[in-house]
Every structure is written in C-alpha cells, then in structure tokens.
Amino acid sequence: MIWFTCRTAKVACLPIAGLVISFAATAPASAACPTSVKPAESPVGTQTIASGEDCTVLPGTRIETTGDSEYGIAADDFSTIVNRGFISTTGIDARGINGEDGNTIVNHGVIATEEAISQAISVYDENTIINYGTMSAERANVIRTEDSNTIINQGVILANGSPHAVVFDDDNIVTNTGEIRGTGTDTFGLDGSSRNVITNTGTISVTGIGIDADHDNTVVNSGLVEITAIRTAVDLGDGNNVTNTGTIRTTRNYSWGVAVDDDNIINNSGLISTVGESSDAVIVLNGNVITNSGAIVATGLNSSAVHLSQTDNTLNLLQGSRIVGLIEFGEFDGEGNTVKLGRGENWLMTFTEDPTLRNSLDTSGAPTAFLNGGLTVATFDAAATVFGAEASALSDLTGVVNATLHHRLTAGNPTTYVWTQGFGAQRNADDDGGGSFQPAAADNTLAGGMAGFSTPLASFARGGLFAGYAHGSLGSPNHEIDQQSWFGGAYGRAFWGQAFADLIVTAGQTDNDSARRILNNMALDGVEFARGGYDGWFVNPELTLGMEMPFGVSSKLVPSASVGYAGLFLDELTETGSQAAVTLESRDIELINGRLQLEMRTSGETSTGPWQTAVRAGVRGRSSIGDDSLVGVLAVSTAFNVTPEDNDDAVAGFLGADLTFSVASSTQVFAGAETALEDDGDSIFAGRAGLAFKF
C-alpha cells in the first residue's frame, strides 16, 4: 500500500498502482494534489518529481524498483522529499533517491539498495540530507554527494560490503550523531575531499577507514570511531584540523589510530588507542602539531603511541596526558622534531632514540635526568606536587586545635572541667590556576579527637592540659600525602576586669606517607607512583588579647586579636617505586598566623544548668617566614633546588558559631563550626562536638 502526498501549484499527482508516478511540468494549472492517496498496490518503478516539487512518502508506503538503473524517487532541483515509508531497489546501478542540486531529503523510514553501484541517496551540490531512520546499501555507497551539501545522520547508516557509508567532495558539512556501521572488506565510514567540516558525536564502526579526508578539513570527534580490520581510524592528507574528545581506536594488527600527512593540527583530550602488533596510535609525516591532554595508547608488540616519522613535527604533552607506548622518531627521516613535556606533571618518557640528538626536547624548565643511555627522560615539577601545601595543612590543624581551646576557656568560671571532643575540617582548593597548566590544587581532609581539662589557677587565671590525634589526607590527582599527628600542650587564660589574655602552646609529631604520580609511557596504564615516608615535629604557641564588654542584659561583645607562630620540621624523604623517584632534604615550614575577631556571646540558665551561644566573624591570615625551597636529587643523578607553586601567604574572611548546653548539673555538650574563604580561592570548613564534665 502507498500513501503518497505532494505539494505544487502547477503539477498533478497521479499515483497509479503498478505504474510510474510522474509529476509533469506541463500538467494543467488547475490540477491539484490530494493530501493522501491509497492505491490498491504499491507502485513499481521510478517515481519522478519535477524541480521545485515537495513530496512525502507516508508511513506504511512501499516504493520498490527491480530493474537496473532505476530510482525509487528521481528529483531534479529544489525539491523537499520526506520518506516515512520504505524505499528499496534490487537492480544494478540503482538509487533509492536520486537528485541534483538544492534538494532537501529527510528520511524517517527505510531506504535500502541491494546490488552493485546502487546507492541509497545520490545527489550533487547544495543539498541537505537528514537521516532519522535507516539507510543501507549492499555493494555501493550508501550516500553519495559532491559539493556544498549538509549531511546529518541521527539514525543508522549500514554499509554491508559497500565501499563507503557516506562519500562527499568539497565544502560539505557532515554531522553524525547516530550510527554508521560497515561490514565486509575495507568499508569506509565518512570519505571526503577538501574544506569539509566533519563532526562525529555518535558511532562510526567500519572495516576500512572511519574518517577519510584529503586537505583543509575540520574533523571533530566526541563519539566513537572504531576500526575492526587492518586499516586506519582517521586518515587525513594535508592542512587539516583534528579535535578528539571522544574515542578513536583500532583493534587489529598493522593499524593506525590517526594518520596524517603534512601541516595538520591534532588536539586530543580523549582516547586514541591501538591494541594490535606493529601499529601506531598516532603517526604523522611533516610539519604537524600534536597537542595532547588525553590518552594515546599503543599496547601491541612493535607498536608506538606517537610516531613522528619525518620532520618538523611538534608533540606537546600537556598536563593530564597519558601516554602508553613508545614515542618513535622515524628511523631514516625522523629529525628536526620537537617534544615538549608540559608543566604540572612528573614525566618518565621513553623514546626510540635520544630525543636530543636529531630532535629537540623541552621540559618546561623542570629538573631533568636522562636514563637508559638517553632513551628515557625523567622530570620533577614542584607544581605537580602538594609539598607546598603542607603549610596550609599545618594551619588547618593548629587552627582547629586552638579554636577548641579558646572555646573551653570561660573567664571567671571557677569550676574544674574534664572534656573530650571530635573534630573535622575540609579544605577545598581552588582549581583555577590560569595559564597553560594547573598547579596541583591540594584539598585537605582532617579528622581527629582531643581531650583535656582546665582548672582555676588563681582568682584571675585558669589553665589546663590537653592531648590529641589527627589524621589528614592532603591530595591532588597527581600527589597525595597521608598525615598522622599526635600532639599535646597547655593552655590558660588570665583576666583583669573585662580584659583577658589567652596563651596556648601546642607541640606534636607527624608521620607522613607520600605517593607521587609519575606519567611513565612504559607502565601498563601509563601511570606509576613514587612512594616514600618521612617524619617530623611541630610547635605552635599562640597569644590572644581581648575584651569582654557587656551588651544588653545577658550578652557580651568580645573583640580579640591573636598572633601565633607555627613551625613544622620535616625529615628527609627518599622515594622508591620509579626511575623518576626523588630524594628530598629535610625541610622547615615556618608561619606567622594572625586573627582579628568580633564575637557576640549570649548566656542563660535552664533547669539543668547554664547555656551559652556565640557567633563570630573576622579576618585571619598566614605568612611564611621560612625557606620554601625543595632541595633534592632526581633519579639519583640530577640535583635540584625548586620552589613549590602553592602560596604560603593567605588572607581569609571567616564566620563561626558555638553552642554550649548543660544536659545535667555536671555535664555539658558543646559544638562549634567555622567557615572561611581565602583570597587564593580556597574554602575551609571546620566543625567540632564534645562533652564536658564538671567537678
């Protein structure tokens, strides 16, 4: 059955079962197309549309041709053809839909051809083809166009033994968001000539070349391009621009992921991979620029991740790059190339020859060691570590300890207290480093507990002792330090009328385990870790001066200023587990911390005892007064003295609140929280809760 509608002002529509449906330009002007026609049988033979006609094949329709060189629908120029039915051909050199220039063809149904040289759609120039349904060809191109066309596939294109799924010449816009699949031998997915814009967000899986183009094309892949036979996933000529954020892969021997000739630009932040023997993930000839922040992987025997086969190529390995497999220079012509190892990573890259002999190597100023007869290059970049963030981690720990002790010092209270509490803090580092790379943004997670007591020392003073434990995790994607701290000390307050002075002295020991990521292209997944442990100790005296000024009936306004010193003294670190391991000399981290605060305290009584609340706001800061340098040796051979990227100096605004409540005459519960935002973008949240028992 056929439902066939057409629209024209001067042409008759005469669908007749078993005959050719012809749209004649000489039809009377008064002839009108019915909106739908339902003949007894579907027609066989070519259905012809004159220039400017618009036609829709409705659901349930079958248009079939059986002879050679017959077309399901034949159009000239500037027609709109919409297929919601089924169009098929079984003859040689046939077409499902054939057109010339300026047509719009939209397929929601099925267009299928079965014999040699028979294409589902064949048009010339300035056409628009949109596929939402299924198109297939057995032994010919599924879609064949020439110049300045727009081709959009959101459905399925099947090339079953066909040479190409989609073929086009110059200045076309080709977009695949659906599926393009090819079976048989050497079937291509998208095949174009020059100045085309080719975008794939869907799937291209064929046995030949996934995307093949000549010159000056723009190719963007955020989907999957996969080759299942001995071929190339993306094969380009000269002057093309390739961007991959998706996956490009081959699965057989003697295959290439991306292969280009001369003067191309390749940007990869996705995955380009080969798994077969004697294969290259990326291979280039002359004058190409490859910029990678994704993964380029070649795992087969005698294979290379990147093959700079001739001259004047540039390989930029940016932060986040993962390379698995050798970086190869062409045996005879591979010279005059440049490899740049970017900032923000620690590299251990192996080449097929010393990269400084016939070619050049740029390690972005990082300390560099040459190993294995010059074939392997190791670097150490302090910006890829969180050693510089140990100052902020020290500030986080001493800050949460001191906040607890200030809260436990209640002026004028003669009672002896024993207390215990748990605490936690989270630092979220700002990850906007700006520039061409991101220094390691070190988040810090801190959790622990402490206990102590305070008692009156005189009519104007009270004090006590405390001890505690904290576990911290200071980390970024490429470096993590696991920290354990044991600490203790003394604290006290003296008061004269409304004025008071708090003194806190804390000392402790730290145990640190470091795991630093190394990007090693000969490791199984391109990544290994250099590990090591080191101990240290710290001290933190702090003095606070303030006034407790009555405010209303039951409140006090409490301005205060604090200043303190924090010193962390770390032992030597010796890493193992990588040829790019380092030995760091002992280090001292010294800070001056300051705090200006205004607090409002309110107190009262219940049947179970007193309660107190406090809200506060202010400004705090820290400044380094020591030498921040990292001094050590890389790969047992290269001495270095470098400065971490992390900023030891910071100013923050903060807000906080505390609550103390008596649940019994001798028992109090207390809790507090504080949040801060530093001028470097880091945000910090700290909280605590505990119990106090009066005697």
Q: What is the pLDDT of residues 121-137, one digit of tens each?
A: 999 999 999 999 999 99
Pairing of the two strands 247-250 and 271-274? parallel
Percent of the chain with pLDDT over 90: 79
Residue 7 C-alpha from the chain's centroid: 50
- The pLDDT value recorded for residue 680 is 85
| In a shared domain, residues 466 and 601 | yes
C-alpha distances out from residue 335 to 51, 256, 631, 687, Å: 58, 21, 36, 60
- The pLDDT value recorded for residue 483 is 97
| In a shared domain, residues 537 and 573 | yes
Q: Residue 24 domain-assigned?
A: no
Those residues with Cβ within 8 angstroms of residue 217's Cβ, 6 or more apart along the chain or in another chain? 192, 194, 195, 196, 197, 198, 236, 240, 241
Q: Is the pLDDT of residue 193 over 70?
A: yes
Query: Rounded to the nearest 5 degrees, what angle is found at the Cα of 34, between the Cα atoms of 30 and 39?
Result: 125
pLDDT digits (tens, 9 = 90+) for 95-114: 999 999 999 999 999 999 98
| In a shared domain, residues 660 and 689 | yes
Task: Encode 65-91 in three state secondary structure.
Answer: ECCCCCEEEEECCCCEEEECCEEEECC
- The pLDDT value recorded for residue 29 is 27
Q: Residue 22 has what DSSP assignment?
A: B
- The pLDDT value recorded for residue 52 is 86
pLDDT digits (tens, 9 = 90+) for 635-689: 999 999 998 876 678 999 999 999 999 999 889 999 999 999 999 889 999 999 9
Q: 493: domain range?
A: 383-694
| In a shared domain, residues 453 and 495 | yes
- The pLDDT value recorded for residue 304 is 98
The CA distance from 162 to 188, in Å, is 8
Q: Residue 17 domain-assigned?
A: no
Handedness of CA 386, 387, 390, 392 (dihedral sign): negative
| In a shared domain, residues 172 and 214 | no
C-alpha distances out from residue 586 to 294, 458, 568, 569, 632, Å: 36, 43, 11, 8, 9
- Give 24's Cβ-side CA count (13 Å radius): 8
Which of 159, 178, 208 is the last residue before a domain boundary? 208
The CA distance from 633 to 372, in Å, is 17
pLDDT-wise least confident of 70-79, 469-478, 637-646: 637-646
Q: Residue 20 domain-assigned?
A: no
Across-strand partners of 259?
235, 283
| In a shared domain, residues 645 and 519 | yes
| In a shared domain, residues 370 and 427 | no
Of residues 388 and 422, which shows the higher confidence score?
Answer: 422
Q: Residue 15 domain-assigned?
A: no
Q: State mean pLDDT over 50-69.
A: 89
The CA distance from 108 to 155, in Å, is 8
The CA distance from 633 to 641, in Å, is 9
**How far is the first Cα of the chain from the last one, in angstroms, to the nearest whole number?**
97
Report the mean per-residue pLDDT for the chain: 90
pLDDT digits (tens, 9 = 90+) for 140-188: 899 999 999 999 999 999 998 778 999 999 999 999 999 999 987 889 9
Which of 379, 412, 446 is the last residue before a domain boundary? 379
Q: Is the pLDDT of residue 438 over 80?
A: no
Q: State mean pLDDT over 296-300.
A: 97
Q: Residue 585 domain-assigned?
A: yes
Q: Residue 43 domain-assigned?
A: yes
| In a shared domain, residues 371 and 486 | no
Those residues with Cβ within 8 angstroms of residue 472's Cβ, 6 or more apart along the chain or in another chain? 393, 396, 397, 444, 445, 446, 447, 482, 483, 484, 485
DSSP-assigned letters across all residues of 120-169? EEE--SS-EEEESSEEEEEES-SEE--SS-EEEESSEEEEES-SEEEE--
Q: Residue 620 domain-assigned?
A: yes
Across-strand partners of 418?
453, 693
Q: Residue 125 domain-assigned?
A: yes
Which CATH number is 62's domain given? 2.160.20
Phi first, then psi, for residue 584 (nearest 5°) are -105, 135
C-alpha distances out from residue 683 to 428, 430, 503, 678, Å: 5, 8, 27, 6
| In a shared domain, residues 375 and 395 | no
Could you tell me if 79 and 51 are in contact, meaning their C-beta atoms sit under 8 angstroms apart?
yes
- The pLDDT value recorded for residue 530 is 98
- The pLDDT value recorded for residue 48 is 82
Handedness of CA 158, 162, 164, 167 (dihedral sign): negative
The CA distance from 225 to 204, in Å, is 5
pLDDT digits (tens, 9 = 90+) for 482-529: 999 999 999 999 999 999 999 999 999 999 999 999 999 999 999 999
| In a shared domain, residues 552 and 685 | yes
pLDDT digits (tens, 9 = 90+) for 459-471: 889 999 999 999 9
- The pLDDT value recorded for residue 665 is 85
Amino acid at 352: T
pLDDT digits (tens, 9 = 90+) for 8-58: 322 333 332 333 333 333 322 222 222 333 333 455 667 888 888 888 999
Which of 344, 363, 379 is the last residue before a domain boundary? 379
Question: Quick check: helix, strand or coil at residue 394?
Answer: helix
| In a shared domain, residues 283 and 188 | no
- The pLDDT value recorded for residue 415 is 83
- The pLDDT value recorded for residue 660 is 92
| In a shared domain, residues 337 and 396 | no
Domain count, the chain: 3
The CA distance from 193 to 170, in Å, is 5
Q: Is the pLDDT of residue 437 over 90?
A: no
DSSP-assigned letters across all residues of 204-268? EEESS-SEEE-BS-EEEESSEEEE-SSSEEEEE-SS-EEEESSEEEE-SSS-EEEEEEES-EEEE
Which CATH number is 469's domain given? 2.40.128.130
